[in-house]
Chains A and B, each alone.
Chain A
Amino acid sequence: EPEVTQTPSHQVTQMGQEVILRCVPISNHLYFYWYRQILGQKVEFLVSFYNNEISEKSEIFDDQFSVERPDGSNFTLKIRSTKLEDSAMYFCASSEVRVGKPQHFGDGTRLSIL
């Protein structure tokens, strides 16, 4: 069964450094999403992306964050200058269409900021 893949599985970065999290969505999917989960807390929506532009973003997704689909298969989340509070699991998801179809999630990247 096709799945969303994320790399790396664990990323350790110094505070203030830039980090790029990578995702390969399911191949025929058109909608892409990033969520995060701080340890012990709820899964939180960050951003959705369709047709090469952001379609919805949360308050968490400030100017430090950006997303890109650099080619036909990858979808990336960049954090420009990481803070300690950015430490979390980051999940990528994709869906075939937006209405009436589920989002499928990858297994996440654990981001640790030192």
Chain B
Amino acid sequence: DAKTTQPPSMDCAEGRAANLPCNHSTISGNEYVYWYRQIHSQGPQYIIHGLKNNETNEMASLIITEDRKSSTLILPHATLRDTAVYYCIVRVEGGSNYKLTFGKGTLLTVNP
């Protein structure tokens, strides 16, 4: 699986958009980008994933650059409950690979 790089921490004001970057410059054609978050040692919560097109769901939007070497997770209106560690994971789909490989992620702190 391609390596990802995320900033260790970010701050965001409540009600503003939170934009979390992820660099995955060695991504290959069959690798998806997944975003999860973990709120205070709860189980990782799935947010969104994509291959090459931008994606949006009820939680967030995922913007993937055209060369697929980086992506941004956007939480459009951050709330205090969005304070969590956010993980960007790149995973090869298929073959003998089943696992998600978690890094250290970005600690997003939403401030009142």
Contact = CB atoms under 8 A, between A and B. Distances in A.
Interface of A: 4, 31, 33, 35, 37, 42-45, 48, 50, 55-56, 58, 89, 91, 93, 98-100, 102-108
Interface residues of B, number: 23
Contacts of B104: 42
Q: B-side binding surface: helix, strand, loop or mixed?
A: loop
Given A37-B41, A42-B104, A104 B98 contact: no
A93 B98 CA distance: 12
B97 A105 contact: no
A104 B96 contact: no
Given A35-B100, A43-B38, A100-B93, 17 more contacts: A4-B43, A33-B99, A42-B102, A43-B87, A43-B102, A45-B100, A50-B98, A56-B96, A56-B97, A58-B99, A89-B41, A98-B93, A98-B94, A98-B98, A100-B32, A106-B43, A108-B41
B46 A103 contact: yes
A42 B103 contact: yes
Contacts of B97: 56
10 contacts: A31-B98, A42-B102, A42-B103, A43-B38, A56-B96, A56-B99, A104-B46, A105-B44, A105-B45, A106-B43
Contacts, number: 57
Contacts of B87: 43
A86 B70 CA distance: 36
A45 B101 CA distance: 7
A48 B93 contact: no
Interface of B: 32, 34, 38, 41-46, 49, 51, 87, 93-94, 96-104
Given A43-B38, A105-B45, A99 B93 contact: yes
Contacts of B94: 98-99
Contacts of B96: 55-56
Contacts of B45: 105
A33 B98 contact: yes
Contacts of A56: 96-99
